[in-house]
Structures are given as structure tokens and as C-alpha cells.
Amino acid sequence: MRLSELRLDVIEQRVAAELAAGHHSRLVPELEKLVAKHPVREGLWARLMVALHESGRSAEALGAARRLRHHLTTELGLDPGDEVRTREERIAAGERLVHARGRIVCPYKGLATFEPDDAELFFGRDQLIDQLVARLAERRLVAVVGASGTGKSSVVRAGLIPTLRRGVIPGKPWQITIVTPSTHRSKPLAEADGMEARHLLVVDQLEEALTVYTDAAERDTFLTRLADLAEGRTPA
């Protein structure tokens, strides 16, 4: 099962690269066969929608979204995730979904972190993003933990943040600040009190606090300030 999932991940990355290179029409037959074989694989359907839309077949692209919704509803009792819904909305609005023909944008970044501007290239973590959104709607503090290199930074930067900016949680717009322990001196921890927007402070690479501070008092001040923000306390 795991090898099958990895194979599909690689196929999706390769197709995304070919779409970025402008190979839209020729991918449609292959993608139609793939979605027939894997009818609830949203990443494949999303790429089929792009291939159809960029080939001038927008009505069929929207039809593909409806076909996926039918499969998900009848087989899993689910609705499509953000990737498919966003592309469906953009197709309906007549927007282009890929860069101009001839400009190749590689969707694979290796070990580099996906940033908020890479949201269109980031995929495969819809369930985790939904869980993060649900927890953030209820709590002031949400921690993302896991082994090094498993994509924690990417899922927050290219998954959670763009999802919040699309208004998935009703209310005021989000003001989002990203810091790390090694950069917060030049970008101070911001106050959320009194702001018109809801403020999300993302502290990435928090473990750096144990290594970048040679002054224990400075490290304790940073961590105490984080605790104050998480608890909604006004610092002394």
C-alpha cells in the first residue's frame, strides 16, 4: 500500500511539472485513465481539471470536479478538499491555472520549505491542514511536532496559512507573522491586543531556542513572551 501511494505521489509531481511546461492537451488521456483507476484521488482530479481548462475545455474541467464530488460523496461521504474547490472556483471565474507556456516551474523543492506563495504546488496534506484549522478555531496555541524533515514547516507555511487567508474560519482577516528564534530580534514578537485583524504568530524552528541563545536570560525572555501570548497574558 505504501509503495502504491509513493508511486501516485511521484506521478502527481511529474504531471504537475508537465502542466507547468505547457503540456496540457496531451496529458488529458493519461489523466482520464488515472482517475478512472483511482476515482477518489483528489490530486489526480485536480490535475485533470487543469489540463482540460488550459486546453480550452473549461466546461469539461468543471464537469470533472462534479464527477469527483460524486465519487467522494457516494464512496466516502466526503466533499472535495481545498485544492479542488479552489481550482473549481478559478476555472469558473475564467482564470489561468498555470504559468505562461514555456516557463517551467518545478513543483518539487527537495528538502527546501514550501512557502505561502507555493500553495498552488503544495498538495497531499489536506486532512492534516483541516485538523490544524479545526484546532486553531478552538485554541490559542497549536503545536506541530514531528521528526526532522517530515514537512512541518511546509504544511504550516504553504498549507495552513493560505487556507486561513482564503477565509476558511469566518471573521476578520488574518494578520500573520512568521518568526524563528534566530530572526525574532529583527522582527519582534507582535502584540495581538487591539488589532483590527486576527493575529497568527507562527514560530518556526522553535528548537533553535535551545541552541541560538548563548544568554540564558535572553532565551528565557523569548520563551516567556511566547507563553504570555499563548495564554493571552499582558507581559509584566
Crossing angle of helices 82-92 and 42-54, in 10° steps, is 20
Question: Is there a single domain that holds both residue 70 and residue 30?
Answer: yes
Segments forming the whole domain that contains residue 192: 116-231
CATH value at residue 88? 1.25.40.10
pLDDT at 170: 86
Q: How many angstroms separate the CA atoms of 163 and 119, rounded? A: 9
pLDDT at 30 over 90: yes
pLDDT at 61: 93
Q: Which residues have a Cβ under 8 Å from the Cβ of 78 and sit 6 or more positions away? A: 72
Which band of pLDDT confidence, cut at 50, 70 and 90, is reported for residue 29? very high
The mean predicted confidence, pLDDT, of the chain is 84
Taking alpha carbons only, the member of 10, 97, 107 closest to residue 51 is 97
Specify if 224 maps to a domain: yes
- Is 185 a domain residue? yes
Residue 101 lies in a domain: no
Residues facing residue 202 across a β-bridge = 178
Residues 124 and 161 reside in one and the same domain: yes
Same domain for 120 and 223? yes
User: pLDDT for 100-142, tens place per residue?
Assistant: 444 556 677 777 888 888 888 888 899 999 999 999 998 889 9
Q: Does 127 lie in the same domain as 59?
A: no
- Residues 124, 203, single domain; the answer is yes
Within a domain: residue 110?
no
Residue 91: count other Cβ atoms within 10 Å of its Cβ. Answer: 22
Q: Are residues 186 and 81 in the same domain?
A: no
**How many domains, in total, are found in the chain?**
2
> Looking at the structure, do residues 223 and 140 belong to the same domain, yes or no?
yes
Question: pTM higher than 0.75 for the full model?
Answer: no
pLDDT one-digit tens code per residue, 161-172: 999 988 888 888
Rounded distance between C-alpha atoms, residue 122 and residue 83, angstroms: 9
